[in-house]
Structure formats: C-alpha cells, structure tokens
C-alpha cells in the first residue's frame, strides 16, 4: 500500500485534478490512500472570511462567494453534468454563510469557530476528487479523516492522541479491505467531543505520515509515502536563485531536518515524524512533470550507503559572535549561559562551537545590543554570509569542498556527518552562489 498526498497547487484547477487522477491510476497496481489538501488559496481565504465576520460581514460574504465560484468552476469543467456535486458545494457554502452570520451576531470568534469553517476546504477537494474517480469508473472509498485522527481540543493547532487514533483505526479496519483506492482529507481531525480540529500548517503532510504510521501498525505493508507537489523533488539549491539546481535522488531524514532548520523550503521534519518512527520511505514528486523519474526518495540513514553532497544553502546577512571567556569562568559554562541568553531573546542560532579559548556562535540577528548590557563578557561581532553543503557522510567528500575555498574566499566553520558549514566575510552575491554550486556539483558529478 502507498500513501499519496497532494498539496493545494496539485488540486488548484480542473487540469490539476486530472493530473492527480493520472498519478492515482499509475499507482493502482496495489492499494493506495490519497490524502488531499484544500484547493490552493482556499484555507487562507476561509480564514480571512472568518476573521472578517465580526468586522465586515459584507466583505466576508464577498470572499466566500469568490471561493465558492472557484470550486463550482472546477466542478463544471470536470463534469458535464453533476447536479449532486453542485448541490453539495452549494450546501457547504450555505452552511459556512450561516456560521459566519452567527459569528457576526455573537461578535466574537473562538478557535473552534475558526476551525469549523477552515476545515471545509479539504472536505470540498476530497469530495470533488472522489466524484472524479467515480465518473471515470475507478472504484474508491471516501474516508472522513475526522473519524480517524483523534486530537486534543486545541482546535487550531491540535496535538494528536496516538492511542485513541490507533483505536479508531482498528475499529474501522474492515473499511480498508473493501477497495483499492481511498480518498481522505489532510489537515483534519476531531477531539474526543467529536468537534473538528486542525493539525496546523503542514498538516496534510502530517496526515499522510499518520495514515502511513497507523496502517503500518495495523499490519499493512506501507511501501512508501508520496508527497506530490509542484516541484520535482527536493532540489540541490533554491531554484529561484540557482538556475542550475537539480533534483536530489535520495537523502536522509536527518538531512531534511538540517535543511528545514536552515530555512530551506522542504518538508517540515515534525510533520513526517510518524513516518520516520515507522521507517517508511518518503518520496517527493511533481504532479505536473511528465518525467516521474525526477523525484527525491527520503530514507533512514541506515539505508544509505554512498557518501554524497546533495545541496547548497545560503544564509545571508547573519552574524558571527566570538566570546572570549575570562579566567574566572569555565569556557563551557560561559557558552551555556550565553547560549541561553541569546535563545531566550528569540535570536535564531544556526551553529555554536565551544572551547576553553573561544566560543563561536552563528546567528540571525546582531547580538551586540543584548551583550553590551551584560557584565563581564568580552566579545566581537562580525557580519558574514553563512553557507552550508548538506548530504550524507559529508566528511568523506570534504576534499571537493576544500577545492572551492580559495576560489570563493570561503573558510570552513565546522562539519558533521550531514553538513559542512562555511563562512564568507562579505556578502555572498547570487552570481557567486551560482558559480559555487556549479563548481562543487560539477566536480562531484565527475567523481560519481
């Protein structure tokens, strides 16, 4: 069995829905569970309309009308005549309008009020896809994720109750024997009172990971979780600034965590924790690509063999802080004290290196104003560009990176099994980043 998750852009238009249909058909040699996000932009629009309900009811209705018309347009272009689906969309928005009016009369919003409206995005998209499969003769089952994913009652940013969720899955285990294709909603669950709850941003990835985890626990063989989006896997650099960025063939969960922490727009590691704990591979794929070979497989480090350099990321406009411990305090104690001070101030810390002689901290914001009011600290601060090459067993590929240091005026700050950190004492221009990317990856490719 595979889990297929499609993001908002993958269901953003009639043509996109058809691409999703094609992707499902290509995976129907076995069972699959399809987890859907809302049509692109819908979640934000529903949230905006709900927030406007107690301020400007007319504006709220205007926003809802736009969202409704977008869904009806998708329905009308996908189906020649589907009165039941038209009626379903209209009934959903009638319910939303009634809720919005009630919130306006009350003059206040609760987190449940918000989640109850925002949840309709996934309910709409999943019903449209289900009807599309039915119309094309593909037997499928529409599942309600609110009946499966159990959460606490923090409705907008809910935490999953794993024990109760497992019990819910077990109670409905017979359903998964009835069909080969199952359609459900990402992002949604329900608390023990049965009220709808939301899993927060990135919740659809989390939902897919949860379905994989619990079905695996029930004894189903989950081959992989596929995350379908509008890019061809995870890329070797930000394609908006590095024109020659390429798809990474395979990488580890650990590398994904590093990239996410450094600011790359990749899967958020917290949303895929259930899949990681169940050791289920993830594959990032492009809904709109004709070449399905351009995808990224994400595995546990124990399943990787060959050392690799996979990606380059630039963190511009950050700072190198050097702290010089005095003779009255142990250097490592100083490091812990300063680190806690900086962290509690909200400054993002990318890396810290400590010794008795000097402590180096690489961080987002200038720490000097904070440290100037702290007694007995000798320090210096320099504005730098921080760069990182990530991969697997990077230390074994370090010679390739060394060759670039003099050419690009870089120095190595530190390296671990999965990342090599470098710094440049000046602003690292985009043109220079492109050249560095090509220099390292061209040399790396020649050695593969």
φ, ψ of residue 95 in degrees (nearest 5): -65, -45
Least confident of 33-37, 256-260, 376-380, 396-400: 376-380
User: What pLDDT was estimated at residue 330?
Assistant: 66
Q: Does domain 2-230 have CATH number 3.40.50.2300?
A: no
User: What pLDDT was estimated at residue 15?
Assistant: 96
Fold classification of 308-447 is VC0802-like (3.30.2130)
Q: Report, as an integer, the average pLDDT of 276-292.
A: 90
Chain position carrying tokens 């994400």: 298
Sequence-ordered strand ranges (E) for 304-428: 308-324, 349-354, 359-363, 378-392, 411-415, 419-424
Chain position carrying tokens 């005549």: 81
User: What pLDDT was estimated at residue 183?
Assistant: 98
Which one has a higher pLDDT value, 42 or 155? 42
pLDDT tops 60 at residue 446: no
Q: Is 176 left (phi over 0), alpha (psi -120 to 50) or beta?
A: alpha
Hey, do 2-230 and 308-447 end up sharing a CATH topology, with the first three levels equal? no
* Separation of alpha carbons 289 and 287, rounded Å: 6
Question: What's 137's DSSP letter?
Answer: T
Domain map (residue ranges) of the chain: 2-230, 308-447
User: What pLDDT was estimated at residue 329?
Assistant: 65
| Mean pLDDT over the full length of the chain | 91
User: What pLDDT was estimated at residue 447?
Assistant: 55
pLDDT-derived band at 270, boundaries 50, 70, 90: confident
The first and second tokens of residue 277, run together, are 């704990």
Q: How many residues would you count in the chain?
A: 448
pLDDT tops 80 at residue 377: no
* Separation of alpha carbons 199 and 194, rounded Å: 15
Q: Report, as an integer, the average pLDDT of 2-16.
A: 96
φ, ψ of residue 185 in degrees (nearest 5): -100, 140
């Amino acid at each position: 069995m595979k889990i297929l998750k499609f993001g908002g852009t993958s269901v953003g238009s009639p043509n996109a829905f058809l691409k999703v249909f094609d992707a499902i058909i290509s995976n129907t040699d076995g069972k699959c569970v399809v987890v859907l996000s809302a049509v692109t932009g819908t979640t934000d629009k529903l949230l905006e309309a709900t927030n406007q309900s107690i301020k400007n009811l007319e504006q709220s209705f205007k926003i809802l009308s736009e969202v409704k018309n977008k869904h009806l347009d998708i329905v009308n272009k996908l189906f020649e005549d589907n009165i039941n689906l038209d009626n379903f969309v209209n009934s959903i928005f009638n319910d939303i309008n009634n809720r919005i009016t009630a919130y306006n009369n009350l003059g206040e919003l609760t987190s449940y009020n918000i989640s109850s409206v925002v949840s309709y995005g996934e309910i709409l998209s999943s019903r449209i896809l289900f009807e599309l499969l039915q119309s094309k003769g593909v037997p499928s089952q529409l599942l309600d994720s609110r009946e499966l994913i159990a959460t606490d009652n923090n409705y907008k940013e809910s935490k999953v109750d794993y024990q109760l969720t497992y019990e819910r899955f077990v109670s409905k285990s017979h359903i998964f024997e009835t069909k080969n294709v199952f359609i459900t909603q990402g992002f949604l669950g329900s608390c023990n009172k049965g009220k709808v709850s939301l899993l927060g941003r990135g919740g659809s990835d989390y939902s897919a990971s949860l379905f994989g985890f619990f079905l695996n626990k029930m004894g189903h063989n989950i081959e992989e979780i596929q995350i379908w989006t509008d890019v061809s896997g995870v890329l070797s650099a930000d394609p908006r600034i590095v024109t020659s960025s390429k798809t990474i063939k395979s990488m580890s969960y650990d590398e994904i965590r590093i990239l996410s922490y450094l600011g790359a727009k990749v899967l958020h590691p917290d949303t895929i924790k259930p899949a990681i704990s169940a050791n289920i591979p993830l594959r990032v794929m492009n809904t709109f690509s004709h070449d399905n070979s351009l995808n990224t497989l994400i595995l546990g480090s124990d399943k990787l063999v060959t050392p690799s350099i996979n990606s380059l990321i630039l963190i511009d406009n950050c700072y190198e802080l050097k702290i010089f411990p005095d003779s009255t305090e142990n250097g490592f104690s100083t490091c812990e004290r300063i680190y806690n001070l900086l962290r509690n101030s909200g400054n993002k810390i990318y890396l810290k290196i400590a010794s008795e002689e000097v402590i180096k901290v690489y961080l987002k914001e200038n720490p000097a104003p904070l440290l100037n009011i702290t007694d007995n600290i000798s320090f210096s601060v320099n504005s730098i560009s921080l760069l990182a090459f990530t991969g697997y067993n990077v230390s074994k590929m370090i010679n390739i990176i060394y060759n670039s240091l003099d050419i690009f005026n870089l120095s190595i700050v530190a390296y671990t099994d999965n990342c090599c950190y470098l710094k440049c004492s000046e602003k690292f221009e985009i043109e220079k980043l492109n050249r560095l990317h090509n220099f390292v990856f061209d040399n790396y490719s020649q050695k593969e």
